[in-house]
Amino acid sequence: MSTAEEQERAVRMAAKIYETRDAAKLLYGAKYADLSRQYQEILRGAMKKFGTDNVLAAVPRLVKATQADGIQPSTGDILMFTAAAADIIDQETKR
């Protein structure tokens, strides 16, 4: 894959992540900020546990880890983990 294709793929992925966050904000409304903080805390813990600074890599690893523990994350959980990841990225890029 060429560098231009990789960049295009990254931009498309980023757009989907932010679209997911927008959908979560619309779905949860005034509850979104509190929910996001809760999911961010879980994600940050997972990042530490998995030894990664890549929040986007932590989301699927967290889902797989919970499934391995016999817990099936809901669609809402996965939506909020993705939305919270976007919020973490925004916080990190504003530093």
**65 token code pair:** 């880890």
Residue 81 CA to residue 21 CA, distance in Å, equals 9
Residue 63 CA to residue 28 CA, distance in Å, equals 21
pLDDT tens string 19-63: 999 999 999 999 999 999 999 999 999 999 999 999 989 999 999
Tell me what pLDDT residue 63 has. Answer: 92
Looking at the 3D structure of the chain, how many domains does it have? 1
Q: Is residue 40 within 8 Å of 81, Cβ to Cβ? A: no
Q: Is residue 88 within 8 Å of 43, Cβ to Cβ? A: yes
Q: Which one, of 93, 72, 70, 73, lies nearest residue 81 by Cα?
A: 73
CA torsion, ordered 16, 17, 22, 26, to nearest 10 deg: 100
Domain that holds residue 78: 3-93
